[in-house]
Amino acid sequence: MSELKERFRAVDEVDPPELWAEARRRAATPEAPPRAAEWPPGAARRVAVGAVAFAVFAVSVVFAWDLANPDPRPAPNPTPAAVDLAAELPEGWSELPAPPEDRSGAATAWTGSRLLVWGGYEFDGSNEDPRANGFAFDAAIRRWSELPTSPLEGRSDPAFAWTGSELLIWGGWDGGFRDRPYFSDGAAYDSAARTWRKLPPAPLAARSPFSVWTGEELIIWGSTERANRMRDGAAYDPATDTWRRIADAPADVTDGSAVWTGEEMIVFGAALDGNNRADTPTAIGIAYDPASDTWRELPASDLSPQAVTASWLDGEMIAWDYDQASAAYDPAIDSWRSLPDTPLDFSECRPTSVATGRVLLGEFCGETILLEAGEDRWRDVPLDPVLSVADCCWVLQPVAAGDVVLVSVHRYGSVGVQERRMFAFNPVGIAPDRTGDVEPEPFVPDVSRDGASTRMPVVFPDGSEALVVYPNELDLASLGVQPAVSYVWTDDPAPRYPILFLHDPDAKLTDYVHGAEPVGSIPASQSTLVWEMSEHWRTTRQLPEGHWLSFQLPSWRVLVALPRIDVVDDVNSSLRFDEVKGFPSVEATEGLALAKGFGESEGSTLSIGDGTADPSTSRLDSTIFLSPDGCAPGSDISVGYGSNCLADGNVFASIYGKRAFVSDVVDGVRVVNFRPT
Amino acid sequence: MDAKHRTRGSYPPASVKEPVALPPCPIDVHDEVVEADVERDRGEPVGAEERLERVYREQADRLWRAVLLAFGSRDVADDAVAEAFAQALRRGRAVRDPAAWVWRAAFRIAAGELKERGRVEGSENREPVVGMPEPFVDLWRALALLPRMQRSSVVLADYAGWSHREIAKALGSSASAVGVHVHRARKRLRELLEDEDV
């Protein structure tokens, strides 16, 4: 990393031109034509804003506007503290209390601490009666409660949006029970005050429209009614409690998705008739820019018009269809690029997807798949076998809730709804973010080639040594190797305190420690320091004490969590750290002991890949955990797919990742020359 | 069942709406502090143009180089930086944190410029680098091989020193996604810079 930063510092040798005079000249030209990325001038709330916009600019516009126009609305009710489910839940799937009813076509919102669900219907095999009530899931106490009675009739598929304080709902479908089965009224639910208010009449006919929230307005457009197509729309501003008409669109869309890019609403899908015949050979997109009140048409996609879905993820609209095809549209360059096919079989289902800031979770016929931001590959994240989705008939409803996706499900049969459950998918393990801005340096050990094999000498944290041999094409070393000692303790079973190895002697500790300076040092060693632990670490690891003892090795920085600050001298004198062949090792004496155990969760471990032995920070994508003394000699411990004893019967491996990776490791990796401590 | 709700087969529908966009994040307290500090440190209030010129003298070179690295064109860097400061001048004191404002605006304007020029990503679109220092040329060429978001993210992180959260706000992404971009960009850059053919 330091070399890379040196490279960046070399950029300072390039001399920029003097541009201040040019900036002043341009600023002095008040009638300058709108530029591609012109900032809206102060007096005008909306003028042309160009092609690439980001949410931050909408924020700034709001603030600039507020400077001159104080918000006339009363201060919002205090809202409950946000609940970070990603920090609270284990990675992957976990189960939460089931909802009272599992609603399809409902208005939903994540408030930061509650999941709101209103309206919709619970499909039981034949019935789609829309409901006029709703529920709230309070994530802090993990309980469902009923929402107050709303002023709206029951409906499904309304336009809806969470404004930050209110759930806005407009329009929708009544299930076909009236002569005119669509609604043209709306209401807003204040989650903190638990009150409803009616919205003023919209300048639109009744419908079930596409909708997005821009940060300022709820934009509703078109209709999902195939027999009565509409190209008009309107926008509701809760700050002024008013509607405005928007320009008519240049095309019809009845089936698909609407996404907000930060600057435009993109409606992507197709216009279908009652027999699922599409107007166009492929799915189409139209984009509405509220700044200029204009529409544009997207370049043609290669996706199916029959059943397609889209979500906004990391600067692109990710779209995929029921034929396994997927593509990404970048409005900054107005073009599509292909993505790998989804790992799904063709089926007669409608795909759906939701995106958090980091991942897109897709649902198709009960199968769930994932696309991570910045990584062009889909992966299976099955609810199977927990849910046995192969058994008829489960209905899944995914909703983004902060960094996790909540999926409520229900199973129905001949006697109606038989079972309801709710799951959370937490992608914490797949992206290197849980440590904030700290990017742990991957440690790439030295290797040697021997024909088609690569030999990687390793030293476990307890001092055991071995040689990992693998096919060259696996290139395991480049994945990085991370040592871990799960715990050191004084009184079994508690308290237990982790040791962290940071492969960078100059590693920034900003995410681990509180304050810029250590709070103490060991007199005999100026490089052994005591730091106050960051609140984040203390909270997420549920550690009662808040201090680290940091040791310095030639190429590692080692952090030991202190059970109590008054044991700092004991811990310092009882732990011996060393560096062997580039690997750190630790020896515990005088009352301290390193944990011994089975598998990756205890004892001395090396993880090859993105993971670490700590589940709350690991990224279990193509990762092998190696533990010495994990297997009885000669035993055959294949306790599950991906777990195995390798070499000499002593080294235990747990392998995580795509199935192909796991198979390659099980088939091709061997550990030889194991030498225990 | 209405046709619009019917999935074409035996599996029941899942008519789930697109998730609503998250409400805008509040401006950082840091944004408020910057302006106050600028004025307090100088002892007395200053005019908007004078304040912005100070920002220009302190930040413009670094900003220009960052835009150059991220977008690969002197012309784009010239225009984006000049235009960002021009727009900030037009807005006067409505810009609460001019330094942060011009950085974000310049990156946004640069992206818009590239779109207007019909450019796509790739090294073939980078301008010649005749007369530039060799370490810069290597980095320049390596950056050109990164996807746009990775390139912008790593430039803002490792050259400009921004936090992932700040980068996310500027690029319309999330801090966690930026973390992924920076991580991968660094890894790829290291590989590319070790390759003498870059």
Mean pLDDT calculated for residue range A176-193:
86
A574, pLDDT greater than 90: no
Q: Mind listing the pLDDT tens digit for each residue in B11-22? A: 222 222 222 222
Determine the residue among A5, A20, A329 to mutate to test chain B binding: the one whose Cβ has the most chain B Cβ atoms within 10 Å.
A20
* A361 closest CA partner among A430, A261, A298: A430
* A125 closest CA partner among A96, A143, A104, A153: A104
Among the partner residues B18, B120, B169, nearest to A333 by beta-carbon distance:
B120
Tokens of B80: 């984006």
Residue A618's contacts (CB-CB under 8 Å, 6 or more residues apart) are A91, A429, A607, A610, A611, A612
What Rg do the C-alpha atoms of chain B give, in angstroms?
A: 21
The pLDDT value recorded for residue A310 is 96
A255, pLDDT greater than 80: yes
The pLDDT value recorded for residue A26 is 87
The pLDDT value recorded for residue B131 is 63
For tokens 């991220």, the residue is B70
Mean pLDDT calculated for residue range A27-49:
38
Strand-pair partners of A502: A557
The pLDDT value recorded for residue B114 is 63
pLDDT interval class at A195 (50, 70, 90): very high
pLDDT above 70: percentage of residues in chain B: 58
* B145 closest CA partner among B167, B126, B129, B127: B126
The pLDDT value recorded for residue A36 is 33
The pLDDT value recorded for residue A177 is 65
A278 versus B1: which is more confidently predicted?
A278
Ramachandran assignment for B194, one of left (phi > 0), alpha (psi -120 to 50 degrees), beta (any other): alpha
pLDDT interval class at B61 (50, 70, 90): very high
The pLDDT value recorded for residue B23 is 27
The pLDDT value recorded for residue A285 is 97
Contact A493/B at CB under 8 A: no
Name residues 138-157 of chain A within 8 A of B (Cβ): 156-157
The pLDDT value recorded for residue A498 is 73
A323 versus A48: which is more confidently predicted?
A323
CB contact under 8 A, B115 and A333: yes
Q: Tell me the three-class secondary structure of A8-46, residue by residue.
A: HHHHHHCCCCCCHHHHHHHHCCCCCCCCCCCCCCCCCCC
* A50 closest CA partner among B151, B25, B83, B61: B83
Distance of residue B15 Cα from the nearest chain A Cα, in angstroms: 5
Q: Mind listing the pLDDT tens digit for each residue in A283-319? A: 999 999 998 899 999 998 999 998 899 999 988 899 9
* A448 closest CA partner among A249, A343, A581: A581
Quick one: fold of A249-382? Neuraminidase (2.120.10)
Asked if residue A445 has a cis previous peptide bond (ω within 30° of 0), the answer is: no
Give the type of residue at B198.
V
Give the type of residue at A248.
D
CB contact under 8 A, B16 and A398: yes
The pLDDT value recorded for residue A157 is 92
Task: Map out the domains of chain B with their CATH numbers.
Answer: 46-120 (1.10.1740), 131-198 (1.10.10.10)
Mean pLDDT calculated for residue range A493-498:
58
For tokens 């790593």, the residue is B154
d(CA A562, CA A332): 50
Query: What is the three-class DSSP state of A271?
Result: coil
A512 versus A116: which is more confidently predicted?
A116
Edge-first strand order for the sheet with A265-270 is A255-260, A265-270, A284-289, A294-297
Sort out which chain A residues have CB atoms less than 8 A from B186's CB and list them.
1, 4, 439
Sort out which chain B residues have CB atoms less than 8 A from A213's CB and list them.
20-21, 23
d(CA A576, CA A595): 15
End-to-end CA distance of chain B: 60
Contact B167/A at CB under 8 A: no
Rounded mean pLDDT of chain B?
Answer: 66
Length of chain B: 198
CB contact under 8 A, B176 and A433: yes
With b meaning 16 or more CB within 10 Å and e meaning fewer, what string describes A344-372? beebebbbbbbbbbbbbbbbbbbbbbbbb
Q: Mind listing the pLDDT tens digit for each residue in A376-427? A: 888 888 876 566 555 556 677 888 998 899 988 887 776 778 788 899 998 8
Q: Say what the pTM is.
A: 0.51
- State the complex-level ipTM: 0.72
Strand-pair partners of A198: A187
For tokens 């079973």, the residue is A493
A373, pLDDT greater than 90: no
pLDDT interval class at B117 (50, 70, 90): low
Distance of residue B41 Cα from the nearest chain A Cα, in angstroms: 23
* B9 closest CA partner among A343, A306, A415: A306
Tokens of B190: 């290291």
The pLDDT value recorded for residue A646 is 57
pLDDT above 90: percentage of residues in chain A: 31
Give the type of residue at A458.
V
For tokens 């020896």, the residue is A587
Report the largest interatomic distance among the alpha carbons of chain A, rounded to a whole angstrom: 87
d(CA B108, CA A60): 13
A9, pLDDT greater than 50: yes
Report the largest interatomic distance among the alpha carbons of chain B, rounded to a whole angstrom: 74
Domain boundaries, chain A: 249-382, 448-675
Mean pLDDT calculated for residue range A202-224:
95
Phi then psi dihedrals of residue B191, to 5 deg:
-60, -45
The pLDDT value recorded for residue A652 is 73
Q: Mind listing the pLDDT tens digit for each residue in B148-195? A: 778 888 898 888 877 776 777 677 666 666 777 787 788 788 888 876
Length of chain A: 677
For tokens 């095809």, the residue is A325
Asked if residue A495 has a cis previous peptide bond (ω within 30° of 0), the answer is: yes
The pLDDT value recorded for residue B64 is 92
Mean pLDDT calculated for residue range A323-348:
84
Contact B194/A at CB under 8 A: no
For tokens 């009882």, the residue is A574
Residue A224's contacts (CB-CB under 8 Å, 6 or more residues apart) are A157, A207, A208, A209, A210, A254, A255, B4
* A355 closest CA partner among A397, A404, A395: A404
* A36 closest CA partner among B73, B108, B76: B108
Least confident of A456-465, A476-485, A611-620: A611-620
d(CA A448, CA A247): 65
CB contact under 8 A, A393 and B184: no
Distance of residue B129 Cα from the nearest chain A Cα, in angstroms: 11
CB contact under 8 A, B158 and A35: no
* CA trace torsion A200, A206, A212, A213 (10° rounding): 10
The pLDDT value recorded for residue A327 is 94
With b meaning 16 or more CB within 10 Å and e meaning fewer, what string describes B22-44? bbbeebeeebeebbeebeeeeee
Name residues 71-130 of chain B within 8 A of A (Cβ): 77-78, 81-87, 89-92, 94-96, 101, 104-105, 108-109, 111-116, 119-121
The pLDDT value recorded for residue A166 is 95
Strand-pair partners of A161: A168
A480, pLDDT greater than 60: yes
pLDDT above 70: percentage of residues in chain A: 74
A500, pLDDT greater than 80: yes
Tokens of A10: 């070399």
Residue A640's contacts (CB-CB under 8 Å, 6 or more residues apart) are none
A495, pLDDT greater than 90: no
d(CA A111, CA B175): 19
The pLDDT value recorded for residue B37 is 35
DSSP per-residue string spanning A593-654: EE---SGGGSSEEEEESS--S-TTT---SSEEEEETT-S-TT-----STTEEEETTTTEEEE
Side-chain-side CA neighbours of A169 within 13 Å: the count stands at: 33
Q: Can you say whether the dihedral through the CA atoms of A121, A125, A127, A128 is positive or negative?
A: positive
End-to-end CA distance of chain A: 32
pLDDT interval class at A513 (50, 70, 90): confident
Least confident of A51-65, A504-518, A612-626: A51-65
Among the partner residues B21, B173, B193, nearest to A315 by beta-carbon distance:
B173
